[in-house]
Amino acid sequence: MHAEEKFTYETWPAAPEKATLEAKNKFLGFWFFLGGETVLFASLFATYLALKDKVGDSGQPLAKELFELPLTFVATMLLLTSSLTSVYAMYHMKNFAFKKMMVWLGLTALLGAGFLGLEVYEFSHYVHEGHKFTSSAFGSAFYTLVGFHGGHVAFGLLWCLTLMFRNGKRGLNLYNAPKFYVFSLYWHFIDVVWVFIFTVVYLMGMVG
Amino acid sequence: MSTLAQKKGFGATLWDFLTTVDHKKIAILYLIAGGLFFLVGGLEAVFIRIQLAVPNNDFVSAGAFNEIITMHGTTMIFLAAMPLIFAFMNAVMPLQIGARDVAFPFVNAVSFWLFFFGGVFLNLSWFLGGAPDAGWTSYASLAMASKGHGVDFYILGLQISGFGTLMGGINFLVTIINMRAPGMTYMRMPLFTWTTFVTSALILFAFPPLTVGLVLMMFDRMFGANFFEVAAGGNTVIWEHLFWIFGHPEVYILVLPAFGIFSEIIPIFSRKRLFGYSSMVFATVLIGFLGFMVWAHHMFTTGLGPVANAIFAVATMAIGVPTGIKIFNWLLTMWGGSVKFTTPMHWAFAFIPSFLAGGVTGVMLASAAADYQYHDTYFVVAHFHYVIVGGVVFAIFAGTHLYWPKMFGTMLNETLGKITFWLFFIGFHLTFFIQHFLGLWGMPRRVFTYLPGQGFDAANMVSSIGAAFMGLGVIIMLINIIMTSVKNVRVGNDPWGDGRTLEWSIPSPPPFYNFKQLPLVRGLDAFWIEKMEGKNGMTPAEPLGDIHMPNSSFMPFVMGFGLFIAAFGALYHPDKVSWSLPVLILGLLITFGSMFMRSVKDDHGFHIHKEELIDDEDKGVKA
Amino acid sequence: MADQQLNSGNPRVDIEYRRRKSTEEMRYQVVSFTLMIFLTLIAFAAVAVKGFTAWFTVPFIILLAVVQVIFQLYYFMHMSHKGHEAPSLFLYSGALVGAVTILAFTTIIWW
């Protein structure tokens, strides 16, 4: 199938994200990249778990004193919902409904931006409380783990917006369908990482 | 675009290589860059041996010696051995599976240029205030205390090169899974392709912990973090764990392709199929898997405790089993075969006992209790040089001879090749065999000198003489390469005469699209099967049609260059110079800007038309 | 599954089949999402409510996280569909390496 072919709802293939060799390669390559990212985040989690509450003589606040349930809960809801909105976007892509796909991608980006805004507020609050990147091993480990995740969200946001703007006038074709699909895989993955972050960092932190 | 050979000037050839996305040309780039870094690492080795030839020597100072041993190890592993292996994986694997290129040709080029600029950045440290001096393992307690920027060069240089390697791993995995020719099932893939596959999986999972470790060290040294600051709650053993969770799979990343190369050479020059193919595949996968379970055998003396030590000791010994299966299979391939003692076969014959010797000292080291005596002595140095030089370097020499015609269209001289072999082989054993004893007699490693009268003097002298032999062997190899290139005697598809796999069924070097028509694979050793039926080529699996090829691009070079610039900004940032942040941002903009341009600008490649392929047929000569 | 080659011979039937299949799948997704929200709520509740020891809460919330991630992977990311054998293999391998790393860091670093 040629990447620039014009399609209709009837002729659009069942799995547009895997319809060309290039698409199949991107699909597989990206899943493998996620396998590597799994190990990357596992190493960051491992470091965090080893350094949790290790503040040395600094007298810095510990996990239990810092984290708060409501904020974490709202952030989780935002990111989890954004994962669902990206699923809807892919559903519309499969059904060749370009405009609807764009709407749901836009919602995904909006929710992701909300999550990021909340995280920036949260970090500034902790810094105010004395919990900084440089204040202790615990501080360094916390900001590195949660910050890398936030960095991934930020990159994903830029990715989503770039895709939307670049392809806004083109409609769906076999060249851009795999790109949207790969983005949605990435977005789900950062939600997967967040599930472990809110569990291991925030919830476990508050349990003690 | 015409497929005919074009007479190219120097400038045009240079531009061709700077912008290529062709796996065969990228392989040549890796071969040249890896070869140059091999010479640098070799020179560092020669300096080490000169300094240690006699007791109380002052050829170099203690500080300089620390820099030399650090750079020798780092350069040899990351900038010589790995790129040279990548050279062969790039040159050979796509041909072996009947593909026209790798899955992501553009990313393949990015991988090379990232490795290249990372390596150049690291080696610039020599001229910019001093090389890293905390060992190639850069343990945190020492590295954090290292003055100057040396260790920062290590962190940033390896980080950049590491990204390139990781991309390469993903590329090869996707290529092997998605782009095999019709009829090539997994169990019909040549062993070198299998080892490329497992190695790439190891790369995918082993490089992220290194990335994290380097990030933590960078944050601690350059941005005030406290991962390794004990007073602030940190722990330096975290670095050791992360480094070795990477570092142990890394040595399998080095040696599995070496095994793959010998698995190609031995059947070819025994004129007999590889014995026990399925068990070879199984052993490769098992080695890959177990490779992730043994890392703490590098940390037996750090106080992990007897339970942890015991678990890792047993797991380490277990790896000997699949490796042993391979050794037996190679021997049984040769047994009863009609052996031709070409230069590659010389290396293969030498590899078996040499690597085996390294392997058995590995089992000795695996015993945690005994390791308390061996750790940090020359016994360890002897062990790893036996496996790395006896395994990987021998394979690189062998592979260079075997695949030279396929990559360049000429044959390296056999006589000079054998002279190189004997000089290097004798030198290697002279240098490293005696080091087992030096270790057992108590000489510690990483010492810049030693006192006389301890019984170390003669052995060190012998060890240093061996280095001279190896150096001479390498020089002869360089002469061989130059002479071959000057004489430029062209060869055909299958110059060794006994090729069994697909790469030998196409011209040397292949046309840039590799296969005019994708071949039909009817079994293991696909080309051999056709030969045995009297055919002189593969049966095509598809009609002659348009071939879709990727465009060249200067962007991969630019992306590498951008990170190179950014690294300087990051390096000097802790010195609070005014230009560091702008330079860092500029470099990142160049790289990420190029990535952005690449994403938004469509690039659909180009098509070679059927008619041009038919013209080639008539005219005979290919590009 | 929506990705299968459809060959009933009648394109209109194929389209209708695909449309229904994808609607059905969308329903699975919404159900998954609801379950994920539910699991998240339980996890937060387990921490908010006093009276459980950490020895219970911690394994419990980790279990909930793992279940939630399984839903993400298999439904949102389509790992249950055909053609995901290699992705599954590599993701689980990565998870295994990660798990070994985490196990090591939580045991042999400080003891």
pLDDT for B64: 97
Test mutation, C108, C109, C110, C111, chain B, max B CBs within 10 A: C108
Alpha carbon distance B427, B394 (integer Å): 13
Alpha carbon distance B92, B262 (integer Å): 14
Q: Are residues B241 and C109, on separate chains, in Cβ contact within 8 Å?
A: yes
Q: Are residues A42 and C110, on separate chains, in Cβ contact within 8 Å?
A: no
Q: Are residues A203 and C61, on separate chains, in Cβ contact within 8 Å?
A: yes
Q: Are residues B245 and C101, on separate chains, in Cβ contact within 8 Å?
A: yes
Q: What tens digit of pLDDT does each residue of B566-612 get? A: 999 999 999 999 999 999 999 999 999 999 999 999 999 999 998 88
State mean pLDDT over B451-478. 97
pLDDT for B613: 85
Nearest Cβ partner for C26 among A34, A50, A91 = A91
SS3 A57: coil
State mean pLDDT over A9-30. 92
Query: Residue B6: is its pLDDT beyond 70?
Result: no
Which residue in B has a C-alpha nearest to residue A163's C-alpha? B600
The pTM of the full predicted model, rounded to 2 decimals, is 0.96
Residue B602: which region, alpha, beta or left (left: phi > 0; alpha: psi -120 to 50)?
beta
H/E segment holding residue B557: helix B555-572
The residue whose two tokens read 């991309």 is B167
Q: In Å, what is the CA distance from B478 to each residue of B259, B283, B400? A: 24, 35, 12
pLDDT for B622: 40
How many CB atoms are closer than 10 A to CB B306?
A: 10
CB–CB of B161/B79 below 8 Å? yes
Query: Residue B478: is its pLDDT beyond 50?
Result: yes
Alpha carbon distance C98, B209 (integer Å): 9
Query: Phi and psi for B323 in degrees, rounded to 5?
Result: -65, -40
Query: Mean pLDDT for chain B?
Result: 95
Contacts of A39 in chain B (CB under 8 A): 204-205, 208-209
Q: What tens digit of pLDDT does each residue of B332-350 get? A: 999 999 999 999 999 999 9
Listed in sequence order, the residues at least 6 apart from B516 whose beta carbon sits closer than 8 Å to its beta carbon are: B540, B544, B547, B613, B616, B617
State mean pLDDT over B20-48. 98
For B82-86, B186-190, B288-292, C71-75, which range has the lowest pLDDT when averaged over its residues? C71-75
Nearest Cβ partner for C91 among A15, A38, A206 = A38
Q: In Å, what is the CA distance from B410 to each residue of A71, B93, B442, B568? A: 68, 20, 49, 41
Structure tokens given for B353: 């006992």
Which residue in A has a C-alpha nearest to residue C93's C-alpha? A35
Contacts of B205 in chain C (CB under 8 A): 93-94, 97
Which residue in B has a C-alpha nearest to residue C110's C-alpha? B235
Query: Residue B107: is its pLDDT beyond 90?
Result: yes
Band the pLDDT of C6: cuts 50, 70, 90: low
Test mutation, A25, A34, A48, A149, chain B, max B CBs within 10 A: A25
C-alpha B319: how far from chain center: 21
Nearest Cβ partner for B241 among C94, C97, C104 = C104
Q: What tens digit of pLDDT does each residue of B510-540 get? A: 999 999 999 999 999 999 999 999 998 999 9
Chains that touch B (3 or more CB pairs under 8 A): A, C
Q: Are residues C90 and A49, on separate chains, in Cβ contact within 8 Å?
A: no
Angle ∠(B222,B224,B226) on CA atoms, nearest 5:
115
Nearest Cβ partner for A188 among C77, C84, C99 = C77
State mean pLDDT over A75-103. 95
Band the pLDDT of B310: cuts 50, 70, 90: very high
Alpha carbon distance A148, A48 (integer Å): 12
C105 touches chain B (CB under 8 A): yes
Q: Are residues A56 and B600, on separate chains, in Cβ contact within 8 Å?
A: no
State mean pLDDT over A66-83. 94
Alpha carbon distance A116, B268 (integer Å): 59
Amino acid of residue B518: L
H/E segment holding residue B213: helix B191-223
Angle ∠(A8,A178,B561) on CA atoms, nearest 5:
140
H/E segment holding residue A86: helix A69-94
B588 touches chain A (CB under 8 A): no
Nearest Cβ partner for B205 among C97, C108, C111 = C97
SS3 B497: coil
How many CB atoms are closer than 10 A to CB A133?
A: 20
| HEC assignment per residue over B256-323 | HHHHHHHHHHHHHHHCCCCCCHHHHHHHHHHHHHHCCCCHHHHCHHHCCCHHHHHHHHHHHHHHHHHH
